[in-house]
Amino acid sequence: MKIEVAVTELKGVRVAVAFAPPAYVTPGVGDSLLARLRPYFPALPIMLASPQRHGVRTHAAFQAQALVGDEDLRTLERTEIDLDVPPIRPEQPPPF
């Protein structure tokens, strides 16, 4: 499965936003997708978003809708990742 993602700052919090089809932006299915995305963004909170005609539909393990507020997520620069390909691990361990 391929999905578009963006890393951005919303209300001072750096988050990963995954743009999923509306059917995935729900409890249950969305939680499974969030678990698949976690290895790609181990240090960031992740939220699913589906821009709609009037606003945006979100799902996350936190109050994502409050974090998004009136932000226009459609304008974010996106990158496509393939969830069937494991994430690239850094060659060196973190400095801590």
pLDDT above 80 (res 96): no
Decide: 18 and 3 in contact? Cβ < 8 Å: yes
Q: Give the domain range for residue 28.
A: 2-80
Residue 37 falls inside a structural domain: yes
Residue 85 falls inside a structural domain: no
pLDDT at 47: 97
In the block, residue with structure tokens 């700052």: 9
Residue 8 falls inside a structural domain: yes
Q: Largest alpha-carbon pair distance within the chain?
A: 44
Look up the pTM and report it. Answer: 0.87
How many domains are contained in the chain?
A: 1
pLDDT above 90 (res 53): no
Residue 58 falls inside a structural domain: yes
